[in-house]
Amino acid sequence: MNDILKQITETVGSKKDLLIDAADQIYGFAELSYEEERSSSLLIRLLEQEGFIVNKGVAGIPTAFVGTFGTRRPVIGFLGEYDALDGLSQEGANPKKCPVIPGAPGHGCGHSLLGTGSLGAAIAVKEYLKANNMDGTVLYFGCPAEEGAGSKQFMARAGLFDDCDFCFTWHPSTLNDVSPDSGTAFMGANFSFKGVAAHAGGSPWLGRSALDAAELMSVGCNYLREHIEDGQRIHYAYSDVGGTAPNVVQATSKVKYEVRARTVDAMKQLFERVVKVAKGAALMTETEMEYEITMAFSDCSSNRVLSEIASRCLQEVGAPKWEETDFALAKQFLDSYDTIQRNGIETSIKERFGEDALGEILKASLHTGVIPYDYSKRRYMGGSSDVGDVSYATPTCELHVATCCIGNIGHTWQMAGQANSSIGYKGMLTAATAMAYSAITVAQDPEIMQKAREEYIKKSGGRYVCPLPDDVLPPIGRY
């Protein structure tokens, strides 16, 4: 083991109990987007205890913050998330569905580990800089609401990443890798139709139905699907159907639309086509339509220069050191999936590792290796994240570390239950070590930093442009 990794491993080891306790508490708080008061307060307190100066309530979001340690360059950023998902309350380490509070939020995306793992990395880098008399500043970005309307695009718009030389983050996963895959750009908006109420039996000709307009918009968008690019997405959900009485012509309706595409430009073009469909629906029904953009993320991919380094560092750190009890627990979680889900899991394992490896992998139930970074295997994924906006504001790289059984499905009670078990904790500590090791490796090599910056400038033009209109503020309490 080289000296950098040795020192980082020692620091993360010495903070193990503190980090596990923090992850445990945040798991228990399970706070939804923009409501992460207790989770953010805990992380802020721990940062302050470690000597960070914390700027609270940044970018107009009360639960967003930036912790700073040091003054000089290089400036090294880490991203932390800590929001939960609705309805996924689950007793930790229990492989049977068992909510702590039925219907309450839970950490079904493992963000209780995410924010805490990044805290571990920030502390380890700070300690390394101090111990080796190195120049450098460590920034910890407390980023709420990743599962909601996001925060990082507002933080980027406020210029909070402008001084960063580079940023590392991670996400709890089923595998250990630095992935070349990219996520989509994303925009959400509410479309409201206003019509005229009337007696649906007595004088329907006097009414103008806002519900008809919303339905015709859905019909139009569902026809539009045939003529959009592969990988683009259109989703919708009704939030106002104009009441429950069929004998009243519905005077109001509201439908939330979300569109996704590979780039911000393509996403904006797709959104404009959806707006045209909405206008057509209003014209057909003689109703009035207005729309309000509520959220948007940029497309997301890791910086290749940083990914090469992070992948090598993660391989050196290795997969979490699973014990027999971890394998046994992971197997129980894997067995909790029903036949349809299980078939889907097996198909994805076969696609990734080949048919012959399936039996061995299912038997182990946990990923025991590290998949090397290979840009030629890059795929476009359907999901989106506000980490994309950070990647347009500074060179950014995301690692994945296993915190759950192989093939595990995200946003489930199973994902939550494993986040609060020895499997999740081991993954979190491995992520903290690998991120800190990667960051120090990059920070000590000006040539790598320069190359990472050049790649970033080529991608972004060197300046962050927010995909949201300037007047869209964080939709706190409204999303």
Site for Zn ion in 95-114 (CB under 5 A): 109
Site for Zn ion in 5-24 (CB under 5 A): none
Q: Toward Zn ion, which CB reaches closer, 232 or 385?
A: 385
Q: Toward Zn ion, which CB reaches closer, 150 or 407?
A: 150
Query: Taking the complex as a whole, how short is the minimal distance between the CB of residue 324 and Zn ion, in angstroms?
Result: 29
Query: Taking the complex as a whole, how short is the minimal distance between the CB of residue 111 and Zn ion, in angstroms?
Result: 6
Site for Zn ion in 227-246 (CB under 5 A): none
Q: How far apart are CA 28 and CA 307, in angstroms?
A: 33
Residue carrying the six token digits 């445990």: 24
Q: How far apart are CA 401 and CA 435, in angstroms?
A: 10
Q: Taking CB positions, which residue lies at the least distance from Zn ion?
A: 109
**DSSP alpha helices (H): ranges in 289-421?**
304-317, 324-335, 339-353, 358-364, 387-391, 413-419
Query: Taking the complex as a whole, how short is the minimal distance between the CB of residue 109 and Zn ion, in angstroms?
Result: 3
Query: Taking the complex as a whole, how short is the minimal distance between the CB of residue 470 and Zn ion, in angstroms?
Result: 27
Q: Sheet harboring 137-142: ordered strands across?
A: 53-56, 65-69, 137-142, 75-80, 166-173, 396-402
Query: Taking the complex as a whole, how short is the minimal distance between the CB of residue 415 and Zn ion, in angstroms?
Result: 9
CB atoms within 10 A of CB 199: 12
The pairing of beta strand 288-297 with beta strand 185-194: antiparallel
Q: How many residues lie near Zn ion (CB under 5 A)? A: 1
Q: How far apart are CA 239 and CA 441, in angstroms?
A: 49
Q: Toward Zn ion, which CB reaches closer, 109 or 443?
A: 109
Query: Taking the complex as a whole, how short is the minimal distance between the CB of residue 128 and Zn ion, in angstroms?
Result: 27
Q: Sheet harboring 185-194: ordered strands across?
A: 233-240, 252-261, 185-194, 288-297
Q: Does 443 bind Zn ion (CB under 5 A)?
A: no
> Between 108 and 147, how does the x/- string for binding to Zn ion read (CB under 5 A)?
-x--------------------------------------
Longest CA span, the chain: 84
Q: Does 401 bind Zn ion (CB under 5 A)?
A: no
Q: Toward Zn ion, which CB reaches closer, 46 or 109?
A: 109
Residues of the shown chain interacting with Zn ion in the complex, contacts defined by CB under 5 A: 109
